[in-house]
Structure 1
């Protein structure tokens, strides 16, 4: 048995792999892993079937003029890509190319490699899966408390799962939730559906889809009306509380019931339960992020948590920070054009130095704000995951050049000019991060469990493009291990040292109320209930 990390999602669940002749025979959860503690989901259990699927791509593919596919060598595929990228840059400018990494790149190193390639090429149109989810919630919390916090379930007295069902999506988290419930914690579930988790809740707020923001403001209304908030924390550590009072005064339980469909008695009861069982925390799920008003809804939920003083305390919302790995961002990058989306989504584009992929179709079809003529898509299936699929399909049918790197012939890959077979996380080294049950920050280096018999590593693909384009200075490494060695310098560790640590390196000890030393990571150093940044 070989110990490693699943890596199919961002859960970083520890696994034990049974390997014979470079084949995964069997997997099971690693009970000693500090984060997942032996839990794995159905997708993780199916890892051998996924990795060794007969449907996996194994050769680069090129579409001919008649739309038929033919296998080509990796070298030929690279020659075509380099010729196209060189032609594009010389004739239409570097901004005519977009590079997108999808869900498969979330928390994975190749997303940072792809960004570095885009910066070296000179395109501002680098994007990720965060264009569609997660980053709106993260940005909302950054605007409010300076960081997206993590819930300390195990020590909480009231847990709110808001559009989030870890019983299905993150089973290892349920162990800490169950521990808290067994110790007397209350559970509130906000979900239109009566899930198994909702059936276990003390209160299930069965909200009408899309009205979560009104529900959050209604809960705040009750807490302010009954003076259940943390007065000392609010007076010392927030700005804009007076404006909050004015904002929520009309969101009475009666009005909110009409908007959300949640009975007013349940709204009052839930507010009291959350306020009187200290400390508590709220976990907004992806359902919040996908709302048209998702950003402001996430802001309201963050404010609800903050005015109770449940920020950065044991059992509350922990304000952690990622491991300080050496950055792969190039310095002093200058672009000829602003990223696509800067006029419609200025806060997003400036916060993440990113384009907004949701409107790439406009640039392809209508040339707004300027023509987008080529895309490199790595680990993403936009036709199934991006909004307005019909318009996107038309755009990808029209685009001059499309390269897709994936493990399977997805709906998006079928539309490409060139398809490159990729790898799964267990076929390469990967950095993983998380926090243990004590809130201590952990970073680990997941080993390569097997050699890929199908794909080309994402690092090699990206690095080969960079070197062929003459960007050797931006990509001075010959092997991915050297790149990771550079990354790990940020925590004072070498590649070899990290490979010898089974369960990660503790880079941060948990400390309560860090804001008392340096304030919050906001312009005012306080919780910004009212944000001057958003006003601008």
Structure 2
């Protein structure tokens, strides 16, 4: 039996490890780390690729709902349905009646632009993605503060701050690096309401109440500025607004922050001094800071900490992401931004992401005559990942036509009118820029290992074919993805063939540092903006500040009397990525079921025992999960598992109206809740409409 090896980039988390994928008789049989690739220490997800590709539950044919039941159809009929629907929609209601929603899994990296190209050609302003509640609030805050996205570059760091990011569960390769730093005498500060694996080896574990991170960051600025631990030369040459920031943070003492965060004032002061006196020092964070009403201002505060201590864009500090500037098609007309959902409410998000803010979708669909008529979801499961699932279910039910393209049947797919089979990464070619997630200017090609299983199509093919059907073939003229990738790569002087010859990737730029010395930053002033005039012009606080989550909640005081615990969802586990991969048996063995993590005293107050099924309730609804009682969880707080469906869907508890005032991001990491034993009387569990 002949074995073929395909060189691929793993898509099963954002890191993109190099894979050698072994194929026998047209089937993927295993995956191992690719020796030629600099990132090749694969995790259990990557090692399970073969089980994903050949899983018996995959969607393998187009399916159309007829009289409430799905029936198999061919791709020709599916394309006819979509073409007629979109042509009629554009002619009657206008192109903005189409909303396209894509997920993180659409393409590995650079082919994620293709759905956006289609939307611009079709004319809709309502293209959206999981960027409406992940990653791009960080980018917004960073763009207006330091000019680009920052990434914790821990190599050589003397002090690492893991702010709300549980690296062993999300990025094991980085967790190993942090452990080596600690073993070598470096310091580690962990900011997390749970005593995580890294918290147990940290110099300081700042165990704070979720939603209060901004208060902690402001107190650290108070100490570092007040004790003159900042880099005076850097501040003078490369920042604007420092005097205003210095005067502003005087009020935010560690004692003030301690009352809010529950972290002892002395611990805040010592941690601030440790970070302020360490050169270089790196702060690592991802989605957690975004998911509360202080998200943007918290990230601005963190960027300010990085900048004033001179840890900006230096090895061992927080460095800018390197990414390639690829070619995009020219579009014949501008889209109408006044028709974009969220553009008026969140203009800086619309400008930064160039997308609709999908968190407003529910309220749009509750209007008497909703503007959105057709929704296409590709590689995303809104019913599992977007806030306030009960309200979203009702909103999706009001859509005239719902089309879902995915690998497996999700809760969203089951609601659809048309379901399309999607190819996995092993069945398609993808372009991967490691600058996108790893701050490494390395371009790779992920090669196809096998032909698509069943009648699955790669994601890009849907948009190429729809463009041709609707008369946009001239702007999207490619017949296959390799032609398109060659077009994208032209500015770099690279080609698909060159990348095939170098499976470990091609370095398209030198690793840069201290780019602020080379010329103006990409901010209005060209410098680090500790005070943002652009924010002031839009009516936002120009300096990082703190909002009390309770005060920003409608009837907040009454709500927290009824729901006295603070809940959060979204914590990562190694086995899964968001709502993906629960079909894979060995990954399911690692994390077999959803749980609510609860402290010992809190569980005792509610009469809850470890392993007992409990009901967690919020103003939005209720879920049932097993209690995992632990001394590692902060009292008064519960961590609800994320990404599960049915009555264990954590987003049944979250609100879509309690949002960051600048980005529109939902407060997924802070919501009022309570816990009941299942034997106690309580409201019915609302998992339906």
TM range (shorter): over 0.9
Count of residue correspondences = 532
Cα deviations by residue, 1:213-233 (Å, 9 ceiling, x for unpaired): 000001111111111011111
Gaps of 5+ in 1: none
**Partner of residue 523, structure 1:** 524
**Partner of residue 645, structure 2:** none
**Partner of residue 300, structure 2:** 299
Q: TM-score, normalised by structure 1?
A: 0.96
Query: What are the residue-to-residue correspondences of 1:149-188 with 2, within 5 Å?
Result: 149-188=150-189
**Partner of residue 47, structure 1:** 49
Cα deviations by residue, 1:397-425 (Å, 9 ceiling, x for unpaired): 11101110001110001111100011112
Query: What are the residue-to-residue correspondences of 1:438-517 with 2, within 5 Å?
Result: 441-454=441-454, 455-517=456-518
Distance, in Å, in 2 between the alignment partners of 1:415 and 1:435 is 37
| Superposition deviation, residue 179 in structure 1 | 3.5
**Partner of residue 580, structure 2:** none
| Superposition deviation, residue 362 in structure 1 | 2.1
Distance, in Å, in 2 between the alignment partners of 1:330 and 1:108 is 22
Query: What are the residue-to-residue correspondences of 1:19-30 with 2, within 5 Å?
Result: 19-30=23-34
Query: What are the residue-to-residue correspondences of 1:366-405 with 2, within 5 Å?
Result: 366=367, 371-405=371-405
Secondary structure in structure 2 of the residue aligned to 1:412: helix
Distance, in Å, in 1 between the alignment partners of 2:176 and 2:337 is 51
Q: Please, what is the CA RMSD of the aligned residues? A: 1.9
Distance, in Å, in 2 between the alignment partners of 1:269 and 1:415 is 53
Secondary structure in structure 2 of the residue aligned to 1:153: coil
Distance, in Å, in 1 between the alignment partners of 2:30 and 2:245 is 54
Cα deviations by residue, 1:240-297 (Å, 9 ceiling, x for unpaired): 1122122211111111111001111110111111111211111122211212221111
Secondary structure in structure 2 of the residue aligned to 1:535: helix
Query: What are the residue-to-residue correspondences of 1:330-345 with 2, within 5 Å?
Result: 330=331, 332-335=333-336, 337-345=338-346
Cα deviations by residue, 1:50-94 (Å, 9 ceiling, x for unpaired): 111100000000001x21110110110110111111111111000
Cα deviations by residue, 1:337-393 (Å, 9 ceiling, x for unpaired): 43110111111012222111111222222168x611111110000011111211111
Distance, in Å, in 2 between the alignment partners of 1:511 and 1:44 is 30
| Superposition deviation, residue 2 in structure 1 | 3.4
Of 10, 14, 17, which aligns to 1:13?
17
Give the number of the structure whose residues are more often helix, by fraction: 1
**Partner of residue 214, structure 1:** 215
Structure 1 residues 354, 313: closer, same or farther in 2, change over 3 A?
same
Q: TM-score, normalised by structure 2?
A: 0.75
Q: Does 1:199 align with 2:200?
A: yes
**Partner of residue 426, structure 1:** 426
**Partner of residue 644, structure 2:** none
Structure 1 residues 106, 141: closer, same or farther in 2, change over 3 A?
farther
Query: What are the residue-to-residue correspondences of 1:266-415 with 2, within 5 Å?
Result: 266-328=267-329, 330=331, 332-335=333-336, 337-366=338-367, 371-415=371-415
Distance, in Å, in 2 between the alignment partners of 1:393 and 1:23 is 37
| Superposition deviation, residue 181 in structure 1 | 2.7
Which shows bigger deviation, 39-48 or 484-493?
Answer: 39-48
Structure 1 residues 360, 110: closer, same or farther in 2, change over 3 A?
farther
**Partner of residue 145, structure 2:** 144
Distance, in Å, in 1 between the alignment partners of 2:439 and 2:303 is 20
**Partner of residue 7, structure 2:** 3
Q: Does 1:68 align with 2:72?
A: no
Q: Tell whether the 8 Å contact from 1:157 to 1:180 is kept in structure 2 after alignment.
A: yes
Q: Tell whether the 8 Å contact from 1:443 to 1:504 is kept in structure 2 after alignment.
A: yes
Secondary structure in structure 1 of the residue aligned to 2:45: helix
Gaps of 5+ in 2: 538-689
Structure 1 residues 75, 106: closer, same or farther in 2, change over 3 A?
closer
Q: Tell whether the 8 Å contact from 2:36 to 2:503 is kept in structure 1 after alignment.
A: no
Query: What are the residue-to-residue correspondences of 1:39-118 with 2, within 5 Å?
Result: 39-64=41-66, 66-105=67-106, 107-118=108-119
Structure 1 residues 301, 329: closer, same or farther in 2, change over 3 A?
farther
